Amino acid sequence: MTATLVPTGDTWTIGAPRLLAGLTQDRSLDLSAHLATHGPLPAIDRARLIGLIDAIALAGRGGAGFPFGAKLRALAGPPREVIVNGSESEPASRKDRTLLRRTPHLALDGAVAVATALGGRHVTIAVHDPTAAETLRRAIAERRDPVRIRVERVAGGFVGGEARAVSRAVRGGPARPPGGRVHLTEQATLLANAETFAQVAIALRLGSYRFRDTGTSAEPGTTLLTVGGAVTRPGVVEAPLGTPLGIVLSAAGSAPQPRAVIIGGYHGSWHAPLPDLRLSHADGRLGAGVVLVLDGNTCALGELARVAAWLAAQSAGQCGPCRFGLPALADDVAALLVGLPAPAATRHAQAVTGRGACRHPDGAARFVTSALAVLGDEIERHRLGGCGRPVLGQLAVPA
């Protein structure tokens, strides 16, 4: 596989592009350019749609990687609403807003096809990015679809991107997950992130056989990754699922010997930079499709402390694990940073996992505990007086 640069400099591909096909300048594809690139959208009914999704083993391209076919089968009847989650509240990710800004008709095609196949009549696209919202409105004005499509601006907070929080927000409620873990399909609502619907649009045109030409046998197709941190070519890359980490890092211009790699974003996990590690949603590793590189010039423990504190501040404030457990976990990391022992860190992580009103405590605990497992030597340096490196902000957090 080779990396093929797209001239904008912020998007590129490993292998042949699908989602990013046709992008030659820093502009969005209008309907005529979209149709010239991808062709017309085939019609499909419920049975054939579910059969296609099962044949390509399509996992959701949001954080959870939930099988999309299982969501479709969970609906007892026509959906009251199909929601495209384009809120992208993960601060390290840019893939969905790139997709919605640059090639908005793919996500629209997928959502319309799914809604009509299931008998739904309403599609809502939830975004917090104003540029994406305006691009989508222009794209909708070009189309003549059999369903009603609306764009809804939602809050951009971290927990506000959770599926049930988005569903509440588009109906005028608070952008917070409800206390009970009720599946949206039980409320006749189908929600998936923007890339998932775009992948449906690609699969409808290619068919299952051609869709499976790339990727792995267990998880065929491509995925979008946001690559950042200590790389010379940050941006959004489309790559076959199962691509080795080393190929992505080399194409992105990573430091020759990176200190650590974060995969999945700030609800993801830290890893040693093993070049043969394969990037796939099937093993739950890829999360929000983020690959962040830390090099030896920054204080990795300081980077962790900044993100842990930010995650603690993102609490919805409606359960104990978020209100008390995550601040305690952030305090543990801050103690390690100044060379103090923090034996309670693992205990605090275990105490919040699986007990929150949403998955935010679970993701934050995974992020911290995986970092502690990778940064053992760094922790020891700080215990002995510090690593002597500044915190460069290679892991960005919003103000």
Q: Considering the domain 20-211, what is its CATH architecture?
A: 3-Layer(aba) Sandwich (3.40)
Give the per-residue pLDDT at 27: 75
Tell me the residue ranges of DSSP E strands in the chain. 3-5, 11-14, 81-85, 122-127, 148-153, 189-193, 222-229, 235-240, 260-263, 269-271, 290-294
Burial of 332 (0-12, 13-18, 19+ CB in 10 A): buried
In one-letter notation, the amino acid at residue 42 is P
Tell me the residue ranges of DSSP E strands in 181-289. 189-193, 222-229, 235-240, 260-263, 269-271
Closest CA to 228 of 398, 101, 93: 93
Distance CA 85, CA 97 (A): 11
The three-class DSSP label of residue 191 is strand
**Which alpha helices (DSSP H) does 212-261 contain, by range?**
245-252
Cβ atoms of 117 and 292 closer than 8 Å: no
Give the per-residue pLDDT at 326: 87
Distance CA 290, CA 276 (A): 17
Indicate the domain borders of the chain: 20-211, 222-294, 300-383
Residue stretches of the chain with pLDDT short of 50: 1-9
Kind of pairing between the strands at 122-127 and 260-263? unpaired
Q: Is 222-294 in the same CATH topology as 20-211?
A: no
Give the per-residue pLDDT at 357: 64
Q: 């992208």: which residue's tokens?
A: 88
Distance CA 32, CA 122 (A): 24
Cut 0.75: pTM above it: yes
Give the per-residue pLDDT at 5: 34
Looking at the domain covering 300-383, what would its CATH class be?
mainly alpha
Cβ atoms of 225 and 280 closer than 8 Å: no
- Provide CATH code, domain 222-294: 3.10.20.600
